[in-house]
Structure 1
Amino acid sequence: MRSGPLTASQQDRWLALYWRESAGGRKVRTSVRPVDPPLPVTVVTAALSRLVDRHEVLRTTFTLGEDGMPVQVVHPAAGFPVPFSVRAAPASDAPPLGGALTRAPLWHMELTARDGLVSALRVWYKHLVTDGAGLDEWYRQLFMVCRGEELPASVTQPLDRAAGKASGTPAAARGNTDPALGVPQSLVPAGRGAGRELTTTVALPGAEEQVDEVCRAAGVARPAVLKSVLGWFFCRYTGQDRVLFADVLAPRRAGDHGIDCVTTVAPVLFVLDEEAGFDEMCRRVQDAALRVLWDLRAGGAPARELRAQTVARRRVGGFSPVYFNFPRRSPLTGPGAGPKESTRSRVRVHTERTNILDDPLSPVCEVHFVGPELILRVTADTSVLPEDTAGRVGAAVLHLLDTMTAAPTAPVRTAALPFPALVFPSSGVRLAGASWVDQRSLSEAVASAPGAAASEVELRAGTVTARVRLRPGATVFDVHEHVLARLHERRDIVAPDCWFPLPEGPDDDGHDRPGWVARTPRDGWTPDAHRPVLAPVTPAEIALAEAVRVTHGHPVTDMALTYTEAGGTQLRAPAVAEELRARGWVGLRHAHVASPCTLRTVARDLAAATGRPPQAPSSHHSRRPARM
């Protein structure tokens, strides 16, 4: 039995899986492939068994190591139960699959067969196992075995990827920074209201030639041109000069015949420079993506850790980027799969209701080619991209491609959006510095603090200030802490930069009485300068501090810090949750470790596990054996 650390891709997928399942969620992916001509069940099942022997990821489960880090465990091929079923008709529901900390298989293959012949294959899987390109390779090798063909000699296993990543890490590459430091929390503010999710697919015949012409003029690859076009569109649409993309990268090297998931998501900042030429815009986009890819390969700080630091520093709830994917494979269905049109007058648009977004404020843009035809698939909530606007994305793309091919060195300012830009319906939503702030929503968050008797919020010159009148016994930090705890709920509020007293009214001498207790700075309270030091006192606080100490190896003495400020890492956060569970406490959520709420707030949200009293900290829990 082999075991070891996770690859970078596995780390991201494992974390997402752990927190989703901890919250009671369940997300299983599925893929269907026809088998034509049909093959005997015995041939397909024998081929599947051979691939289970060949690819360790199909025999891998996950657990926590003694150091609190996730570990992948590869089970021996001998005796490993191959998870498959044979049915006369496809099942409507996914079979039970394992999770982040279980031994059950994380995938299942369903064979649709009649009279002993398989006509279709369906794979149910967790994204932790494979990705789109890996799934294609899985099917390809399965059919090769069924046909009696020789498989590629070399296979890269996940454990080998992780070992190779750990060995040659240039120290100079570790200084990367988060591109989200200077962008709004989302493309549009969250205060616009919930809509419905739509996927708009636009087929643009003949666009391949134009894209390649721009590639030659700028000296870039296709993804740089396509992302530049989308970045330009979103900047024009929102009236902003920058967009935070989340690039879906699959850095699978040539000759790599593994089927495991290597996909990772990397933040890339697009900045619209009106005076730069179109060719220069594309080169900058490609350079930014290459720098991010270098950081990933060279061992730079993972994006999730940088993002947690940025969230704490900017005192926002999180970020909702635009996801960009230029997959190697093309879908088998959709508007681009039919006969190709040679005239651009036959641009086709198809819209359908979907339910795939993890974050309704993060649009997903998938671009690929089917022959000479460009297929653009945009999935977005209608509160972010209304249906009529989404349907005109194709016209905007064609307009910019026409402009770029006609004059590749012309300034970007020469291209205007061929339809009206977005107009925000709420006058209360404004940019304060680089952050969206809905003044009414923030006022409600401040007023809802138990310690606030009255309050006012003001946005001026990019600064967010608040005035508060405190209830007896409350402190300014109590109110500030309450706002921090509310940030993860929205993408249009921030914690105030500075707090001032709200006068209670004139005293006997006609002077305004201050609205908070003595010894609090009357000229303004700022979290960086005046935050108190709060030692762990309650049983839940002590248990949380001990759980962080045990899993991270350093003491926690200040509950006024966030999890990140206290030295906590995202990858070890599940170990903190499991350590708390071992001590009799439950309730730790992803928002507790990924948003700027304080450790004291986290401790208040914890609850004693049903049927067992919380245990006092002891050396018995200082190291637990890995669960396998």
Structure 2
Amino acid sequence: MEPGSTEYNLSMRVRWDGTPDVAALGAALSGVVARHEVLRTRLVAGAEGVPYQVIDEPAPFPLPVVDVSGSTDPAQAVRELAAADAQVPFDLSTGPLIRATLLRAGQGEHVLVVALHHVVFDEWSDSVFHRELMALYEAFRAGESDPLPPLEVQYADYAVWQRQWLQGDALERQLSYWRDRLSGAAELDLPLDRPRPPVRSSAGATMGIDIPDDVADGLRELSRECGVSMFMTLLSAYAVLLGRYAGSDDVVVGTPVANRNRAETEGLIGFFVNTLVMRTDLSGDPSFREVLRRVRETALGAYAHQDVPFEQVVEALVSERDRSRTPLFQALFNYDFVEGGSFESGSGDDEVDAKFDLRLVLSDSGARLGAEFEYSTALFDAATVKRLGGHLVTLLSAVAADAGQRVGALPVLSAGEREVLAQEWNAPSVDVPAVGGVHELIAERAVAVPDALAV
């Protein structure tokens, strides 16, 4: 409920080939918003400051059209306007929590920019939104009626189900699991490029990573051999890499889950996603195959106790908040499988709101594996994260080649880095100055630069 914050703003861009029917598109947007109560919901603070939901009646959805075709660089103008729109905060109490603008970049070139607040939308909702928007647009453009079947339930119904079920013994069983699982967990102490600020900054950027197709194929084959999912294999590698950087055999990361366990929720837009905390035990220098077994056991246990909201886990386990870092974990792991999907590696120039110190996003199309780091620019330089990405690729390559290696023996340095380490930093001999002692070197330096400060 932080006024003026844009940390939880979401932004989508839909490219339109040809010239869209603006009236039909506006009607389609109105139809989606009317269909899903959550997109007409506001959060209003009650007498004691506790927010409650207010659902507004359906109304025509405004769709302004902005023509940037006369700009020197229309494509850049589109990017700048979309980025600026994403930084406009939502007022949760007055709403609405969704807005859209149609940008005209040229003849037959249009981009629909949609911004939403995360409190009413998650990643699963994205596919529901696109599917229903296109179905309604095509129908309305053809002069037909709404083709979508009515929804049996709404997001508010799910919220009621969750409150009714997740209380008493059911809630305590779930919380007890997380207390036992996370007791004594270590904070992830990664080497930083600058001191951690006393209050966590959301300033961030992204860095794309190229994972060779043969490495991705090897990881898929390893997953099949070991009876684990690709998610578990990649999470294991991420934990090993973070453990190596932090010098720790106790690695804790977070990961989102769709949390749509009832069939009725699959067609709904709303914030269902929950965050699970995955604690990986790397003690005893196990083989990577053994790490896979441990991660599989951890993941299955977490899935069985995924119903309790992350915020309640934090409330139950964290007695004193540290404003300099996120509670329970500081690194997030995202794995998305979209068969036949396409993606491009980011250049590292994109500025984002970083919700964690470090976030690894992996997109698997079944044919290719794309990866991107999202990181806090208050903590890391781009060069550091680029090097981290290279180490991840080296580690994944080694795992795909031989998962029987112990984690302590798995390489992370590139061939070039190993050569520098072996040849330049550990040269067999160096020329020693012909002096009688260190004091002569100091005196010689003082003569050469008499005005330099002595520390």
Go from structure 1 to structure 2 and tell me whether the alpha carbon gap of 1:152 and 1:292 turns closer, same or farther (over 3 Å shift): farther
**Residue 206 of structure 2 aligns with which residue?**
199
> 2:120 matched to 1:129?
yes
Cα contact 1:133–1:328 (8 A) shared by 2: no
> 2:244 matched to 1:244?
no
Give 1:61 deviation, angstroms. Answer: 0.6
Go from structure 1 to structure 2 and tell me whether the alpha carbon gap of 1:392 and 1:48 turns closer, same or farther (over 3 Å shift): same
Cα contact 2:19–2:108 (8 A) shared by 1: yes
Give 1:411 deviation, angstroms. Answer: 3.3
- Aligned partners of 2:113 and 2:304: how far apart in 1? 36
Which residue type is aligned with residue 99 of structure 1?
D
Cα contact 2:30–2:60 (8 A) shared by 1: no
Which consecutive segments of 4 or more residues in structure 1 shift more than 6 A? 114-118, 193-196
- Aligned partners of 1:85 and 1:55: how far apart in 2? 22
**Residue 557 of structure 1 aligns with which residue?**
none
Which residue type is aligned with residue 376 of structure 1?
A
**Residue 302 of structure 1 aligns with which residue?**
312
- Aligned partners of 2:379 and 2:251: how far apart in 1? 14
Which deviations, in whole Å up to 9, do the C-alpha atoms of 1:114-146 show, x marking residues without a partner?
A: 999883211122222212331232122111112
**Residue 30 of structure 2 aligns with which residue?**
49
Q: Secondary structure at the match of 1:199?
A: strand
Which residue type is aligned with residue 29 of structure 1?
L
**Residue 458 of structure 1 aligns with which residue?**
none
More moved, 250-259 vs 31-40:
250-259
Equivalences for residues 356-505 of structure 1 within 5 A = 356-358=353-355, 362-381=357-376, 384-418=379-413
Give 1:305 deviation, angstroms. Answer: 0.7
**Residue 75 of structure 2 aligns with which residue?**
none
- Aligned partners of 2:370 and 2:137: how far apart in 1? 33
**Residue 150 of structure 1 aligns with which residue?**
147
Q: Secondary structure at the match of 1:400?
A: helix
Q: What TM-score does the superposition give when structure 1 sets the normalisation length?
A: 0.53
**Residue 110 of structure 2 aligns with which residue?**
119
Which deviations, in whole Å up to 9, do the C-alpha atoms of 1:454-477 show, x marking residues without a partner?
A: xxxxxxxxxxxxxxxxxxxxxxxx
Q: What TM-score does the superposition give when structure 2 sets the normalisation length?
A: 0.72
> 2:16 matched to 1:61?
no
Give 1:68 deviation, angstroms. Answer: 5.1
Give 1:309 deviation, angstroms. Answer: 2.0
Go from structure 1 to structure 2 and tell me whether the alpha carbon gap of 1:154 and 1:368 turns closer, same or farther (over 3 Å shift): same
> 2:325 matched to 1:334?
no
**Residue 174 of structure 1 aligns with which residue?**
175
Which deviations, in whole Å up to 9, do the C-alpha atoms of 1:331-352 show, x marking residues without a partner?
A: 865338xxxxxxxxxxxxx432
Give 1:83 deviation, angstroms. Answer: 3.9
**Residue 283 of structure 1 aligns with which residue?**
293
Count of residues in Structure 1 that have an aligned counterpart in Structure 2: 381
Give 1:56 deviation, angstroms. Answer: 0.7
Go from structure 1 to structure 2 and tell me whether the alpha carbon gap of 1:320 and 1:288 turns closer, same or farther (over 3 Å shift): closer
Give 1:33 deviation, angstroms. Answer: 0.6
Go from structure 1 to structure 2 and tell me whether the alpha carbon gap of 1:69 and 1:97 turns closer, same or farther (over 3 Å shift): same
Q: Secondary structure at the match of 2:207?
A: strand
- Aligned partners of 2:402 and 2:228: how far apart in 1? 16
**Residue 341 of structure 1 aligns with which residue?**
none
Supply the RMSD in Å over aligned alpha carbons. Answer: 3.7
Cα contact 1:202–1:394 (8 A) shared by 2: yes
- Aligned partners of 2:310 and 2:329: how far apart in 1? 22
Give structure 1 stretches of 5+ with no counterpart.
Answer: 1-17, 337-349, 422-628
> 2:67 matched to 1:85?
no
> 2:91 matched to 1:99?
yes
Which residue type is aligned with residue 288 of structure 2?
F
Go from structure 1 to structure 2 and tell me whether the alpha carbon gap of 1:365 and 1:405 turns closer, same or farther (over 3 Å shift): closer
> 2:271 matched to 1:266?
no
Cα contact 1:65–1:71 (8 A) shared by 2: yes
Go from structure 1 to structure 2 and tell me whether the alpha carbon gap of 1:72 and 1:193 turns closer, same or farther (over 3 Å shift): closer
**Residue 561 of structure 1 aligns with which residue?**
none
